[in-house]
Structure 1
Amino acid sequence: MKLSVVIPAYNEEESLPETLRSLYETLVKHNIDHEICVTNDNSKDRTEQVLQDLQKEIPTLVYFTNKGPNGFGYAIRYGLERFSGDCVAVMMADMSDSPDDLVKYYNTMIEQDVDAVFGSRFIKGGAVYDYPKVKLLINRVSNFVIKMLTGIKTNDTTNAFKLYKRETIEGVKPFMSAHFNLTVELPLKAFVRGYSYTVVPNSWQNRKYGKSNLKIKEMGSRYLFILLYCMIEKSFSRGDYMKK
């Protein structure tokens, strides 16, 4: 089963070399057939040049440049329309997600034959390092609300780092989110539409370089929109979008 890894990148010239080299080395070590797909989201720094240079040493690296519309969600969607694998993971460019955890996701998907693997940083075996306290509090409250309102069996729905089979990605289209709320749209739609999933622990560490593009004040209403949409679909769509 070929694994694709979609990585959105906006002004990540400092983070990408370490992230991509570590990811490639780990996947090769475990003999996983793969491709690494980076979406350069119209970066203003040397991100594209860095990707061109890294292609010379990482043969499985492909990159796309999204000229617009731009944004975190658009960048991921750009990659999700172009990957070639049988399954696809969404990972961050800033080394916050562990390549070893991705191997665990991949093996779990094969062993349990599930449609998706969701990571949780807040179950036994999970861990977070240098997580900003205010963001951590908002994260915990938000995920508790999502779990209570939808019934999804994970306490970390907002965690972007997840793995989906190609059929699952096709089944949750059309995509609606333009920003970070895509990280909630994908798993909630998969859950509401009847795709199977399992939850495994993963770790997270704060970025070494640059700064996060997540703007908490701007995202609240967007997360709420996706949450309400999925709840309405679950309650009133009469199964029209369920997994066939």
Structure 2
Amino acid sequence: MNISVIIPLLNEQESLPELSSWITKVMDANHYSYEVIFIDDGSTDNSWNIIEDLSRKNSAFKGIRFLSNYGKSQALHAGFAKAEGDVIITMDADLQDSPDEIPELYNMIIQKGYDLVSGWKKKRYDSVVAKNLPSKLFNWAARKTSGVQLNDFNCGLKAYRKNVVKNIEVSGEMHRYIPVLAKNAGFKKIGEKVVIHQARKYGESKFGMNRFVNGFLDLITIWFLSKFGKRPMHLFGLLGTIMFFIGFVSAGYIGIMKLWKLYVSNQETILVTDNPWFYISLATMIIGTQLFLAGFLGEIILRTKNNEERYKISEEINL
């Protein structure tokens, strides 16, 4: 099979018929063998009934229905697990991503040898204040932190070689950072393509300003995971050891100076416990010990963790 198209969605009943017709037209025109996997992430409208109707008319259309709204990362994870195409295309269901981009994305993977190609919505139709400026800041921070030189991390239109999606773990809200996850997994040929961004035709955006706040927090998480995810002791153990050593040396210095003044200089001294630096040294040693234990526990958890099910599937169609 040439292409698997994975489309997460939430309450997109108006756009699904038009989107499915558009995809079919592109696939037939290019003589691709394909499948389209819709992941209904807990829609409360008529989206699932439309997916069922589409699947009856065309067996290439398939569906996964979640019991509840688990998030885009979980939807992509479920789609990646089921995808069978040589090239995996992800896109949003709101018609803001154009299926006409699929042939060139496919060729960049197959002919030019990219592992991953990310869309870049260079010209956007979103609000400048609400989305454009926060998005530019977010993408700048992501580039600096991750080392992956993409202009638009958050674009839903991406293409992947099959072995990429089968070897990365998308969880939490990490769908924004799939290129970073791919890089960390060893896939180095990551490209970018300018794609058409279309104004939303139906409904309203399901994402608010909080996605940028969450995005920056996730950026810190993925930076930590990429640097120390497999060796937490290297960070926490090092910091803990340094802090404990500083606290221990400081406490030792306070004790030695008291003994020196008391027995050598014959000076009257205050109690060690009346010296505020004693408590600073003690706190530093305690914090150092806790950091060391955090690293130790992180190593234990890393070696004993089991993959937990992060979503529940209610129904499947043609899978």
| 8 Å contact kept, 1:118–1:199 | yes
Q: Could you say which residue in structure 1 is the equivalent of 2:265?
A: none
2:177 to 173, 185, 190: 185
- 2:86 maps to amino acid: D
* Higher alpha-carbon deviation: 62-71 or 33-42: 62-71
Change (3 A) 1:220 1:201: closer
- Aligned-residue offset at 1:9: 1.7
User: Equivalences for 1:98-137 in 2 at 5 Å?
Assistant: 98-122=98-122, 127-128=123-124, 130-133=125-128, 134-137=130-133
| 8 Å contact kept, 1:66–1:78 | no
Q: Could you say which residue in structure 2 is the equivalent of 1:141?
A: 137
User: When the two structures are superposed, what TM-score results if normalisation uses the length of structure 2?
Assistant: 0.67
User: Equivalences for 1:83-232 in 2 at 5 Å?
Assistant: 83-122=83-122, 127-128=123-124, 130-133=125-128, 134-173=130-169, 175-177=170-172, 181-195=173-187, 196-217=189-210, 219-232=211-224
Instruction: Work out the CA distance in 1 between the residues paired with 2:50 and 2:214.
Output: 32
**What runs of 5+ residues in structure 1 fail to find an aligned partner?**
240-244
Is 1:39 the counterpart of 2:32? The answer is no
| 8 Å contact kept, 1:39–1:66 | yes
Greater share of residues in strand: 1
Greater share of residues in helix: 2
Instruction: Work out the CA distance in 1 between the residues paired with 2:96 and 2:212.
Output: 22
SS at match of 1:200: strand
- Aligned-residue offset at 1:234: 3.4
Cα RMSD over matched residues? 1.9
**What runs of 5+ residues in structure 2 fail to find an aligned partner?**
232-319
| 8 Å contact kept, 2:4–2:36 | yes
Q: Could you say which residue in structure 1 is the equivalent of 2:67?
A: 67
Identity of aligned residues (%): 24
| 8 Å contact kept, 2:77–2:171 | no
| 8 Å contact kept, 2:138–2:215 | no
Is 1:27 the counterpart of 2:32? The answer is no
User: When the two structures are superposed, what TM-score results if normalisation uses the length of structure 1?
Assistant: 0.86
Is 1:80 the counterpart of 2:80? The answer is yes
SS at match of 1:18: helix
* Higher alpha-carbon deviation: 188-197 or 154-163: 188-197
The runs of 4+ residues in structure 1 deviating greater than 6 Å are none
